[in-house]
């Protein structure tokens, strides 16, 4: 009966702890390997399979690298600010700080039971003042650099609750709390100028060892677009309309101009008789989501303002409309509409009977409008006959001499809105003074602490805005009475720099020591969910670059290599959820089988980056594997051995081949997070061991022991507690993790003999074993002389023999 269980886990966790086995050794920083798993939100629910899959398996990778000689740095912490804790407070009256800290304690306990190498001395908790003091410092530095600024931006607003709503509190356009219709309201809010880094964020993607799909998502998110900005004068008006277009070659085909309904120009340009319709339309637009406005399939709508724009290329007057398919926040917030060559303009023009002109000839005669492909310019005056690419260039060139056009690169990426009208976040360290204006809180007055005693009642004002003691302060510059900013920072700000804090988390003078960080950074391997492809992973890259440019960091990119784990589904193939009743709870399995069995199954049952449905059969295969290995070692260590040989004969060579093949494959596969094949190789090795033992009457015991030693060594990263236990039982010195990862023996992988199947007239009739050095002629002779083969070919004439080396001998007889 096997003994490995959760008790074994406890024994070794205690021992590891006492001996500080996984302490990061700073002396070895030149061999550092910074392995980081995305930290988690202390949600209160237990550690789920997803946590385990991310943290447990990455820990195995880190252990494997540690045995290869790296000084592994694997810290853990908590992304502890955020909306859920605040909503929980509103519902239950339990303070976010208290519930969060309670959850963190529970999760720490559970994480410790995982038996990972996390060095808890480096823990980071983002809601603690010793951390958010530096998040605020970061804000001030960005502000001083001109990378943090204030401007008006819309927020979701519930007119009944009289409050700002986060996106996730808006359900189908209705307030989560009172179900009244949510509208947009403009508030002055803080932004980080991530767009200033758009080009570098795009270009440096190429050099990163990241999944291609993630790089492509970031690329599209940044959305670089090359075109021109063109200026339209307005008839009887001093204002101008600027448009961004990727198709200046179609300028002669403009039949109207469209402003986003939010554009400040709208009010100025709308003639009195159109006012009512325009205002109604603007109100309707406020309720729409951007994604719906951009959709090509939604019906296009809009209203006329009564004003006309003048096409700079030919002086033609075209009507100015407003329409929700034009976004205020992209480009210039206005477009020149070319219904002949643009799908959305075409739909709009068809609906409102606006002219549709052709200015690009397709390559075929009967092509229909809208024609969006390439071609030659037509109906375009002096530019007729030019190919469209030349047309783009020459039209911009000709207008630029009159300051009516310039080449322009546009990005889809917007500046990062970091203001939250919420309590549970780092207060934005800004003071507003009547004399001095906007004043950042000086570093020696940081942190701006979150007051504990706040009123969570949802009455339209955020808890901080209502807190007199917090809001009222003194201007750091002139000493006059002043007010604090009451917005807090988006929690993505907290997580945009936590990886910089881990290596120096106790530093009270700075966020981190620059020189120390230059040795510890960047993160060598970062592992987390693909849902972070755009926001977190882009924000962190931006902050890294901004700090580099301010001289605090020496490296360009925060995460050299990135891996996304897949998702483990319920046995029914659906996402695990309480309502479906298909949730697998790690606790139960760990209690019954020990954590290593759980960990091993997660490795064996799935391709790491893909995930898939849970299966108890796979689990059983692992239980059996662990059991059989333990029994083998038990028998080996506890029974008296008869006489043993020192011989390395055929059987020893066979087992040695399996062992070295396993070492070789696992060394390659585990490095790439291919754990399933690694576990399969170890299963083969165990089979090989049993086979060897039953084959030979007088086994070579020294050889078996040496094989077991290597076996337990390569199993250790994947089953850490179990392997320590086996290591001890085999009589080796603590700890198996001090053992170097074994090198495979190339010579052992060269087989002396090979096995070939023999086919006679297309049917497999037997197998022959030949010397691996034999040539094809010799193999043919050997096969034909084989006794069993003789039985089939006797008395027949041999028509043909084909030898496919190392696989098969084909004999055709007749």
Nearest to ligand ANZ of 327, 793 (CB atom)? 327
DSSP 161: T
Among 477, 664, 693, 705, binds Zn ion (CB under 5 A): 477
Regarding 180 and contact with Zn ion (CB under 5 A), the answer is: no
Q: How far is the CB of 486 from Zn ion (least distance, A)?
A: 18
Nearest to ligand ANZ of 233, 504 (CB atom)? 233
What lies within 8 Å, CB to CB, of 7 at 6+ separation is none
Write a three-state SS string for 501-550: HHHHCCCCCCCCCHHHHHHHCCECEEECCHHHCCHHHHHHHHHHHHHHHC
Regarding 410 and contact with ligand ANZ (CB under 6 A), the answer is: yes
Regarding 742 and contact with ligand ANZ (CB under 6 A), the answer is: no
Nearest Cα to Cα of residue 239 among 117, 106, 175, 334:
334
Cα angle vertex 763, ends 758, 769, to 5°?
15
Regarding 474 and contact with Zn ion (CB under 5 A), the answer is: no
Binding mask 436-465 for ligand ANZ (x = CB under 6 A): ------------------------------
Nearest to Zn ion of 409, 474 (CB atom)? 474
Regarding 415 and contact with ligand ANZ (CB under 6 A), the answer is: no
Among 110, 246, 473, 753, binds ligand ANZ (CB under 6 A): 246
Nearest Cα to Cα of residue 590 among 109, 92, 63, 64:
109
Cβ-based neighbour number of residue 46 at 10 Å? 12
Among 333, 503, 511, 586, binds ligand ANZ (CB under 6 A): 333
Q: How far is the CB of 328 from ligand ANZ (least distance, A)?
A: 7
Among 335, 482, 523, 655, binds ligand ANZ (CB under 6 A): 335
User: Which range, of 47-55, 324-332, 508-516, 629-637, touches ligand ANZ by CB under 6 A?
Assistant: 324-332
Q: How far is the CB of 329 from ligand ANZ (least distance, A)?
A: 7
Regarding 436 and contact with Zn ion (CB under 5 A), the answer is: yes
Regarding 349 and contact with ligand ANZ (CB under 6 A), the answer is: no
Among 77, 331, 558, 611, binds ligand ANZ (CB under 6 A): 331
Measure the CA–CA gap between 484 and 486, rounded to whole angstroms. Answer: 6
User: Which range, of 49-57, 145-153, 332-340, 476-484, touches ligand ANZ by CB under 6 A?
Assistant: 332-340
Cα angle vertex 245, ends 244, 251, to 5°?
120
Partner that binds at residue 802, options Zn ion, ligand ANZ, none, CB closer than 5 to 8 Å by kind: none
Partner that binds at residue 336, options Zn ion, ligand ANZ, none, CB closer than 5 to 8 Å by kind: ligand ANZ
Measure the CA–CA gap between 571 and 721, rounded to whole angstroms. Answer: 27
Partner that binds at residue 678, options ligand ANZ, Zn ion, none, CB closer than 5 to 8 Å by kind: none
Q: Which residue has the tokens 């805005």?
A: 465
Q: How far is the CB of 408 from ligand ANZ (least distance, A)?
A: 10
Measure the CA–CA gap between 760 and 792, rounded to whole angstroms. Answer: 8
Nearest to ligand ANZ of 398, 609 (CB atom)? 398
Partner that binds at residue 564, options ligand ANZ, Zn ion, none, CB closer than 5 to 8 Å by kind: none
Partner that binds at residue 421, options ligand ANZ, Zn ion, none, CB closer than 5 to 8 Å by kind: none
Regarding 245 and contact with ligand ANZ (CB under 6 A), the answer is: yes
Structure token pair of residue 96: 């976010």
Q: Which of residues 214-243 bind ligand ANZ (CB under 6 A)?
A: 225
Q: Is 578 annotated as a binding residue?
A: yes
Regarding 341 and contact with ligand ANZ (CB under 6 A), the answer is: yes
Nearest Cα to Cα of residue 659 among 729, 749, 736:
749
Partner that binds at residue 229, options Zn ion, ligand ANZ, none, CB closer than 5 to 8 Å by kind: none
Q: Which residue has the tokens 């992988």?
A: 749
Whether the CB-CB separation of 783 and 801 falls below 8 Å is answered with: yes
Regarding 429 and contact with ligand ANZ (CB under 6 A), the answer is: no
User: Which range, of 165-173, 194-202, 335-343, 602-610, touches ligand ANZ by CB under 6 A?
Assistant: 335-343
What lies within 8 Å, CB to CB, of 656 at 6+ separation is 648, 707, 745, 748
User: Which range, of 315-323, 448-456, 470-478, 512-520, touches Zn ion by CB under 5 A?
Assistant: 470-478
Structure token pair of residue 146: 């001109």
Measure the CA–CA gap between 467 and 400, rounded to whole angstroms. Answer: 55
User: Which range, of 18-26, 213-221, 245-253, 715-723, touches ligand ANZ by CB under 6 A?
Assistant: 245-253
- CA of 685: how far to CAs of 669, 673, 726, in Å? 16, 20, 16
Q: How far is the CB of 477 from Zn ion (least distance, A)?
A: 4
Q: How far is the CB of 476 from Zn ion (least distance, A)?
A: 8
In terms of phi and psi (left: phi > 0; alpha: psi -120 to 50; beta: otherwise), the region of 553 is: beta
Measure the CA–CA gap between 310 and 171, rounded to whole angstroms. Answer: 43
Partner that binds at residue 435, options Zn ion, ligand ANZ, none, CB closer than 5 to 8 Å by kind: Zn ion
Regarding 361 and contact with ligand ANZ (CB under 6 A), the answer is: no
Give the count of alpha carbons within 13 A of 496, CB side only: 27
Regarding 324 and contact with ligand ANZ (CB under 6 A), the answer is: no
What is the widest separation between alpha-carbon atoms in the chain? 115
Whether the CB-CB separation of 558 and 540 falls below 8 Å is answered with: yes
Cβ-based neighbour number of residue 523 at 10 Å? 24
User: How many residues bind to ligand ANZ according to rule CB under 6 A?
Assistant: 17
Regarding 475 and contact with Zn ion (CB under 5 A), the answer is: yes
Q: How far is the CB of 437 from Zn ion (least distance, A)?
A: 8
Regarding 250 and contact with ligand ANZ (CB under 6 A), the answer is: yes
Nearest Cα to Cα of residue 168 among 491, 459, 599, 633:
491
Q: Are strands 405-411 and 224-234 parallel, antiparallel or unpaired?
A: antiparallel
Structure token pair of residue 733: 């010195």
Nearest to ligand ANZ of 329, 574 (CB atom)? 329
Among 4, 53, 132, 330, binds ligand ANZ (CB under 6 A): 330
Nearest to ligand ANZ of 338, 431 (CB atom)? 338
User: Which range, of 9-17, 338-346, 695-703, 753-761, touches ligand ANZ by CB under 6 A?
Assistant: 338-346
Regarding 433 and contact with Zn ion (CB under 5 A), the answer is: yes
Q: Which of residues 385-404 bind ligand ANZ (CB under 6 A)?
A: none
User: Which range, of 65-73, 194-202, 326-334, 632-640, touches ligand ANZ by CB under 6 A?
Assistant: 326-334
Measure the CA–CA gap between 253 and 381, rounded to whole angstroms. Answer: 11
Regarding 441 and contact with Zn ion (CB under 5 A), the answer is: no
Structure token pair of residue 766: 């037997």
- CA of 642: how far to CAs of 263, 427, 635, 698, 700, in Å? 92, 75, 13, 7, 10
Prior bond of 735 cis (ω within 30°): yes
Measure the CA–CA gap between 297 and 225, rounded to whole angstroms. Answer: 23
Whether the CB-CB separation of 617 and 624 falls below 8 Å is answered with: no
Q: Which residue has the tokens 């290869």?
A: 68
Among 141, 247, 300, 545, binds ligand ANZ (CB under 6 A): 247
Nearest to ligand ANZ of 335, 349 (CB atom)? 335
Helix, strand, coil % in the chain, rounded to nearest 5 = 45, 20, 35
Among 140, 320, 323, 338, binds ligand ANZ (CB under 6 A): 338
Nearest to ligand ANZ of 260, 540 (CB atom)? 260
| Residue ranges in contact with Zn ion by CB under 5 A | 433, 435-436, 475, 477-478, 480
| Residue ranges in contact with ligand ANZ by CB under 6 A | 225, 244-247, 250, 326-327, 330-331, 333, 335-336, 338, 341-342, 410
Binding residues: 578
Binding residues for ATP: 578
């Amino acid at each position: 009966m096997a003994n490995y269980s959760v008790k074994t886990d406890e024994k070794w966790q205690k021992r590891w702890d006492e001996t500080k086995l996984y302490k990061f050794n700073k002396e070895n920083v030149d061999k550092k390997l910074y392995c980081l798993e995305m930290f988690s939100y202390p949600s209160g629910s237990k550690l789920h399979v997803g946590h385990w899959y991310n943290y447990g398996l990455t820990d195995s990778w880190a252990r494997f690298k540690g045995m290869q000689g790296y000084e592994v740095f694997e810290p853990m912490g908590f992304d502890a600010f955020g909306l859920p804790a605040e909503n929980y407070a509103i519902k239950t009256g339990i303070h976010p700080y208290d519930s969060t800290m309670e959850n963190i304690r529970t999760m720490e306990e559970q994480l410790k039971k995982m038996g990972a190498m996390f060095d808890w001395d480096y823990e980071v908790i983002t809601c603690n003042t010793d951390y958010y003091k530096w998040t605020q410092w970061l804000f001030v530095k960005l502000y001083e650099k001109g990378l943090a600024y204030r401007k008006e931006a819309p927020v979701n607003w519930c007119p009944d609750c009289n409050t700002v709503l986060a996106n996730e509190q808006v359900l189908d356009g209705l307030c989560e709390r009172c179900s009244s219709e949510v509208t947009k309201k403009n508030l002055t809010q803080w932004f980080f100028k991530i767009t200033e880094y758009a080009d570098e964020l795009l270009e440096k993607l190429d050099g990163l060892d990241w999944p291609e799909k993630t790089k492509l998502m970031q690329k599209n998110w940044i959305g670089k677009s090359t075109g021109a900005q063109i200026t339209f004068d307005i008839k009887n008006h001093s204002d101008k309309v600027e448009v961004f277009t990727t198709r200046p070659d179609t300028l002669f085909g403009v039949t109207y101009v469209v402003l986003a309904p939010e554009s400040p120009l709208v009010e100025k340009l709308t003639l009195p008789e159109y006012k009512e319709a325009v205002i109604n339309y603007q109100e309707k637009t406020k309720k729409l989501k951007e994604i719906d406005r951009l959709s090509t399939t939604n019906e296009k709508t809009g209203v006329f303002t009564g004003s006309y724009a003048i096409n700079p290329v030919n002086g033609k007057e075209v009507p100015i409309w407003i329409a929700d398919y034009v976004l205020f926040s992209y480009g210039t917030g206005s477009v020149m509409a070319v219904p002949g060559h643009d799908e959305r303009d075409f739909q709009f023009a068809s609906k409102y009977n606006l002219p549709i002109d052709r200015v690009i000839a397709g390559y075929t005669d009967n092509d229909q409008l809208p024609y969006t492909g390439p071609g030659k310019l037509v109906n375009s005056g002096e530019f007729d006959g030019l190919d469209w690419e030349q047309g783009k260039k020459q039209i911009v060139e000709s207008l630029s001499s009159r300051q009516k056009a310039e080449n322009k690169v546009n990005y889809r990426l917007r500046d990062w809105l970091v203001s939250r009208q919420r309590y549970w976040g780092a207060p934005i360290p800004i003071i507003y003074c009547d004399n001095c204006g906007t004043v950042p809180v000086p570093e020696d007055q940081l942190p701006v602490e979150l007051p504990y005693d706040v009123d969570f009642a949802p009455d339209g004002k955020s808890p901080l805005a209502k807190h007199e003691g917090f809001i009222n302060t003194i201007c750091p510059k002139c000493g006059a009475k002043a007010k604090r900013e009451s917005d807090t920072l988006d929690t993505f700000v907290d997580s945009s720099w936590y990886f910089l804090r881990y290596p120096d988390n106790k530093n009270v003078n700075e966020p981190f020591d620059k020189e120390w960080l230059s040795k510890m950074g960047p993160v060598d391997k970062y592992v987390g969910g693909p849902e972070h492809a755009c926001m977190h992973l882009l924000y962190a890259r931006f902050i890294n670059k901004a700090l580099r440019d301010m001289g605090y960091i020496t490296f360009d990119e925060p995460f050299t290599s990135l891996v996304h784990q897949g998702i483990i589904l319920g046995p029914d193939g659906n996402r695990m959820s309480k309502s479906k009743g298909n949730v697998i709870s790690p606790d139960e399995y760990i209690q019954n089988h020990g954590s290593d069995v759980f960990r091993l199954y997660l490795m064996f049952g799935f391709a790491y980056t893909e995930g898939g449905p849970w299966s108890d059969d796979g689990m059983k295969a692992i239980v059996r594997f662990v059991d059989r290995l333990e029994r083998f070692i038990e028998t080996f260590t506890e029974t008296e051995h008869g006489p043993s040989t020192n011989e390395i004969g055929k059987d020893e060579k066979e087992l040695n081949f399996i062992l070295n093949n396993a070492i070789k494959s696992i060394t390659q596969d585990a490095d790439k997070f291919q754990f399933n094949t690694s576990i399969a190789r170890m299963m083969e090795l165990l089979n090989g061991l049993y086979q060897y033992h039953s084959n030979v009457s007088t086994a070579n015991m020294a050889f078996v022991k040496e094989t077991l030693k290597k076996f337990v060594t390569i199993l250790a990263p994947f089953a850490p507690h179990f392997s320590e236990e086996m290591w001890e039982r085999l009589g080796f010195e603590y700890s198996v993790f001090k053992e170097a990862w074994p090198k495979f023996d190339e010579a052992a992988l060269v087989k002396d003999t090979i096995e070939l199947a023999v086919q006679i007239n297309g049917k497999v009739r037997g197998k022959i074993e030949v010397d691996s050095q034999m040539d094809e002629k010799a193999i043919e002779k050997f096969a034909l002389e084989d006794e069993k083969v003789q039985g089939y070919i006797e008395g027949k004439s041999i028509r043909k023999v084909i030898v496919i080396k190392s696989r098969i001998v084909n004999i055709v007889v007749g």
